[in-house]
Structure 1
Amino acid sequence: MDTEAKPTERDRSSDPAAGSEERSRSARFSRLAASMSWRRTAALSAACAAFVLLLSNFVVQPYLIPSGSMEPTLHVGDRVLVNKLAYRFGAEPLRGDVVVFDGTGSFAREAPQGNPVSGLLHGAVASLGLVEPDETDYVKRVVGVGGDRVVCCDRRGRIEVNGSPVTEEYLYPGNRPSRVRFDIVVPDSTLWMMGDHRDASRDSRDHLGEPGGGMVPVDRVVGRVDWIGWPPARTGSLPGSGAFTGVRAPTGGAHG
């Protein structure tokens, strides 16, 4: 009969050193898991931000409406979505299109160079529609394209394009088509732009006597405003206009 006592395994839970070691391993594991989770979240956030910036730079860009120059079509504070692909494949702006464009050299003078870092940050945030756009960015309606003769006004006070009167149903209530008289021919590859709130819009009419005559080069157009994304009560596609359907094609070509 074996009376020698056999060694028994100690209860690890009763060993202070072993318990401390296990708690230490558990804490290290928790810290590692938290670190990995944070890195995964940061990487995902960076990827999402990069995707949104790429989308806004090349496909659809949110744009915050800063003024009432396009009322009642667009209101102050509206966030619209600008379709940057609308004119990318050979298509050009049409009469009646509402577009965002860079007015540098036509509506605005060349701005002095500022802090490049703050400029990049502002541009990135503005591209998400979170702050007002650059001071050289404008939103207006195309009234004349290359070759068009645009005249204000006929005997009934309407604008004429190539001799055809235009009934502009989108104008701000109570506004005339224009209080400024003009008779211009739009040069090729440029546009004549006007706001829908004519009494509150600084547009091509205000730059008639300046170099370029208020014409906006087509290659300065950022894109076409196709949708209103905010506020919820106004969300939807931008209503179209049949104001220019009866306008004849220009004859005789454009003049500089």
Structure 2
Amino acid sequence: MTSEKNKLGTQVAENPPESWWQKAWKSQRENLQIVIIALSLAIVIRAMVAEPRYIPSDSMVPTLHVGDRVVVEKISYYLEPPKTGDIVVFTPPEKLQEEGFTQDQAFIKRIIGLPGQTVAVKKGLVYLNDQPLVEKYIAEPPKYQWGPYRVPENEYFVMGDNRNNSNDSSRWGFLPKQNIIGRAVVRFWPLERIGEV
């Protein structure tokens, strides 16, 4: 290391030359900080606010098709309970887990029955508290009989819009509220069918 005298005669050490690594670090440090902040925000938003989901089956046809991608928001159910007609994403209840489904295999269905309501399926119609539902969103009328059963407290009765090809509450029972991840609100893919669900 060389040194030189300043105007007062004091020895001043020269800085050693920077390595390529130090130069690269200085030039990219701010970019790295931005990336870390962005990733942190993305993780928080996905965990607590909203997340994208892929539709893997035809159980929600004609509303949602295989390959559709939707945004699932997670905030509203902290403020108000789910409503009839909401399309919800949820982790498999205990009975489905016993059949081999895992926690990371999320399902998507429409809420039909709320806690305390009575649900029945008969003669091609779904009845809620003995009143037939008008359901313009289904693929075809259900070809099976079910119920009537009263929905327990803190649970929901959910069905796929493709009634005759859906692994839903008519097969495995009621959905516990704590299994609900969030509500599907917007389809963002494919682009030609972008919009609310």
For Structure 1 versus Structure 2, the TM-score category normalised by the shorter chain is 0.7 to 0.9
- TM-superposed CA distance for 1:106, in Å, is 4.2
Distance 1:142 1:104 in 2: 15
| 1:53 corresponds to | 43
The alignment covers a number of residue pairs equal to 182
Q: TM-score normalized by structure 1?
A: 0.65
Where does structure 1 differ by over 6 angstroms across 4 or more consecutive aligned residues? 110-113
Indicate the residue corresponding to 1:70 in structure 2. 60
Aligned to 1:216: 175
Q: Which has the higher strand share?
A: 2
Do residues 152 (structure 1) and 141 (structure 2) align? no
Verify: 1:227 aligned to 2:192, yes or no. Answer: no
Question: How much does 1:36 deviate?
Answer: 2.1
CA contact (8 A) 1:66 1:77 kept: yes
Please list, as runs of the form range in 1=range in 2, the aligned pairs for 1:156-235 lying within 5 A after superposition. 157-172=124-139, 175-207=140-172, 214-235=173-194
Max Rg structure: 1
Between the aligned partners of 2:24 and 2:151, the Cα distance in structure 1 is: 63
Query: Shift of residue 45 of structure 1?
Result: 1.7
Contact 1:107/1:203, CA 8 A, preserved across alignment: no
Unaligned 5+ residue runs, structure 2? 1-15
Q: For residues 69-120 of structure 1, what are the alpha-carbon distances to aligned partners after superposition, in whole Å with 9 as ceiling and x for unaligned? A: 111111111111111011012x11111110011123143339799xxxxxxx
Which of 15, 20, 30 matches 1:40?
Answer: 30
User: Does 2:70 align with 1:92?
Assistant: no
- Go from structure 1 to structure 2 and tell me whether the alpha carbon gap of 1:105 and 1:112 turns closer, same or farther (over 3 Å shift): closer
User: Does the 8 A contact of 2:92 with 2:101 survive in 1?
Assistant: no
Inter-partner Cα distance in structure 2 for 1:37 and 1:57 = 32
What TM-score does the superposition give when structure 2 sets the normalisation length? 0.83
Give the CA RMSD over aligned residues.
2.4
Q: 2:112 aligns with which of 124, 134, 143?
A: 143
Question: How far has the Cα of 1:34 moved from its partner?
Answer: 2.1
- Structure 1's unaligned 5+ residue stretches are 1-23, 114-132, 208-213, 239-256
